[in-house]
Amino acid sequence: MPSVQTPSRVAIVGGGGHVGLPLGLVLCDLGHHVTLIDSAPQRLREIGEGRMPFYEKGGEALLAQCLASGRLHSTTEGRRVSDQEIVIVTIGTPVDEYLDPNIREFDRTIEAVLQEMRPGQLLMIRSTVFPGVTDRLQRRAAERGLAIDVCYCPERIAQGYAIDELTKLPQLVAGCTPDAQERAEQFFGGMGIRCIPLKPVEAELAKLFTNSYRYINFAISNQFYMIADSYGADFHRVYRAVTDDYPRMNGFAKSGFAGGPCLLKDTMQLASFNHNLLTLGHHAMMVNEGLPSFLVSRLKESRELSGATVGILGMAFKGNSDDPRSSLSYKLRKVLTLECREVLCTDPFIQDPTFVTLETAIERSDVLILGACHSEYRQIRTDKPVVDVFGFLGRTACHES
Ligand SMILES: NC(=O)c1ccc[n+]([C@@H]2O[C@H](COP(=O)([O-])OP(=O)(O)OC[C@H]3O[C@@H](n4cnc5c(N)ncnc54)[C@H](O)[C@@H]3O)[C@@H](O)[C@H]2O)c1
């Protein structure tokens, strides 16, 4: 990658995470001096030893390069924020048990960050936040007489592919003031990234709209899958037929599990922001979260499950990922556990002593259900029935749906 002309000292709060670490590596590779600040010492230890704590395409090689450059540092000490020109926040922003944003933890971290900041620094929020949070943060800084620039620049990468995508995607940039806007645009522009200016609340909504749109889109296909399946039609044949040389269906999503740490969470953030009025979002949740139960109910119609062993192929929330967060394969396991004699789980990317190998899962199961589209599953050859809601295995495995 080409180097930036004016390298900055950048701290990333949450720098050991799925968003923070790839960002830190790319910034470091471009010539910036990067300090990863993270409250998880084990993650930082692994990073310091040259191991990625999670799968990221090209991550390990780039990490080695960054460590060798001497420009990548890591620490658990929040006070290191004060040595930097730019502070980027990438900590998690989960929803609570009532599906409302868990603002308290985010606020606590931001409060600690503000305490260490000096006048003249740029504070960039990159976590996905509740609309209004960025402007509120600017007011909090101003109230305490802290003259910093505040902006919101949401992360929009596909998890696992950040290193590829970070400099290719246009960046939404929203400064709370013209100075903040200019500095943020200079920062990304200096890396050759095209900036799209917005107001903070617009950028906050843009990020939530993107994830809610994708979540709702998956629900449309999942509902259609359930309809087709209930009436003896093959959804994937219908899918191929309606998308074949017919541009108006280009946006038609594939059916499959819509889990993971972002899509449902951000749809619920948007609902919460709009006083719980997001009918499409709530219906999408019922469809997507109901898919594992639907698959099990359909299976029960065709076979006696109480004496059966069922294998789940893939426990990560998506294909070729090692991330189990909010994966619907775990929900599937829970539903199956109540119905079957035994449930076997396998995943090549996730270390779990209760999982079995792929060979064991195939050999010992009476029926298999695809939970995540890992590439290696394309090679599966078995005469056991395989439930494939994703339509991923093509004709290489026998289907039961
Ligand atoms: N994962 C994605 O693909 C993705 C994509 C776009 C946006 N986002 C958003 O980015 C944010 C982060 O998501 P993530 O998947 O990277 O989460 P993550 O859990 O992988 O990373 C968060 C990191 O922050 C650290 N942390 C938590 N509290 C801290 C504190 N007080 N001080 C320092 N470090 C702290 C954690 O130890 C962790 O390493 C969320 O708002 C998410 O919605 C995620």
Q: What are phi and psi of 370, to 5 degrees?
A: -75, 125
Work out the angle at residue 35's Cα, subtended by the Cα atoms of residues 29 and 36, and round it to the nearest 5 degrees. Answer: 95
Ligand 1 centroid vs 308 CA: distance in angstroms? Answer: 40
Q: Could you tell which of 19, 76, 211 is best to mutate to test the pocket of ligand 1, judged by most ligand atoms within 8 Å of the CB? A: 19
Q: How many CB atoms lie within 10 A of CB 277?
A: 10
At 5, is the pLDDT very low, low, confident or very high (cuts 50, 70, 90)? confident
At 395, is the pLDDT very low, low, confident or very high (cuts 50, 70, 90)? low
Q: For 190, what's the count of Cα atoms within 13 Å in the CB-facing half-sphere?
A: 16
Q: Give, using CA atoms, the residue closest to atom 30 of ligand 1.
A: 39
* Average pLDDT, integer, range 121-138: 97
pLDDT at 393: 94
Return the percentage of the chain with pLDDT > 90, whole number: 93
pLDDT of residue 336 exceeding 60, the answer is yes
List, as own/partner pairs, every contact residues 94-103 make where C-beta atoms lie below 8 angstroms and the sequence separation is at least 24, other chains included: 94/261, 94/265, 95/265, 95/268, 95/269, 95/272, 99/268, 99/271, 99/272, 100/268, 100/272, 101/130, 101/269, 101/272, 103/130, 103/133
* Average pLDDT, integer, range 273-280: 96
Which helix (H) or strand (E) segment holds residue 66: the answer is helix 59-69
pLDDT of residue 2 exceeding 80, the answer is no
Q: Give, using CA atoms, the residue closest to atom 31 of ligand 1.
A: 109
Report the b/e string of 219-252 with b at 16+ CB within 10 A.
bbbbbbbbebbeeeeebbeebeeeeeeeeeeeee
| Closest approach atom of ligand 1 to CA 20 | 16
Ligand 1 centroid vs 16 CA: distance in angstroms? Answer: 8
d(CA 283, CA 163): 34
Note the pLDDT tens digit of each residue in 130-168.
Answer: 999 999 999 999 999 999 999 999 999 999 999 999 999
Q: Give, using CA atoms, the residue closest to atom 24 of ligand 1.
A: 14
| Closest approach atom of ligand 1 to CA 126 | 10
Ligand 1 centroid vs 325 CA: distance in angstroms? Answer: 12
pLDDT at 400: 45
Q: Give, using CA atoms, the residue closest to atom 17 of ligand 1.
A: 92
pLDDT at 103: 86
* Average pLDDT, integer, range 252-269: 97
Q: Could you tell which of 13, 35, 56, 155 is best to mutate to test the pocket of ligand 1, judged by most ligand atoms within 8 Å of the CB? A: 155
pLDDT at 98: 85
pLDDT at 212: 98
pTM of the model: 0.96
pLDDT at 73: 98
Are 273 and 208 in contact by the 8 Å Cβ rule? The answer is yes
In whole angstroms, what separates CA 261 from the centre of its chain?
5
Note the pLDDT tens digit of each residue in 345-354.
Answer: 999 999 999 9
Contact residues for 233 (Cβ-Cβ < 8 A; gap 6+): none
Note the pLDDT tens digit of each residue in 202-253.
Answer: 999 999 999 999 999 999 999 999 999 999 999 999 999 999 999 999 999 9
DSSP state of 252: P
d(CA 239, CA 3): 45
pLDDT at 97: 86
In short, whether 155's Cβ falls inside 6 Å of ligand 1 is yes
Ligand 1 centroid vs 304 CA: distance in angstroms? Answer: 43
Strand order in the sheet with 342-346: 342-346, 309-313, 367-370, 386-387
Q: Could you tell which of 25, 81, 124, 262 is best to mutate to test the pocket of ligand 1, judged by most ligand atoms within 8 Å of the CB? A: 262
Q: How many CB atoms lie within 10 A of CB 42?
A: 10
In short, whether 189's Cβ falls inside 6 Å of ligand 1 is no
* Average pLDDT, integer, range 89-100: 91
Q: What are phi and psi of 27, to 5 degrees?
A: -60, -45
Q: Give, using CA atoms, the residue closest to atom 27 of ligand 1.
A: 91
* Average pLDDT, integer, range 273-295: 97
Exposure of 25 by Cβ count < 10 A (0-12 exposed, 13-18 middle, 19+ buried)?
Answer: buried
Are 350 and 365 in contact by the 8 Å Cβ rule? The answer is no
- Higher pLDDT among residues 97 and 271, named by residue: 271
What is the chain's mean pLDDT, rounded? 96
pLDDT at 68: 98
In short, whether 109's Cβ falls inside 6 Å of ligand 1 is yes
Which helix (H) or strand (E) segment holds residue 370: the answer is strand 367-370
Note the pLDDT tens digit of each residue in 55-78.
Answer: 999 999 999 999 999 999 999 999
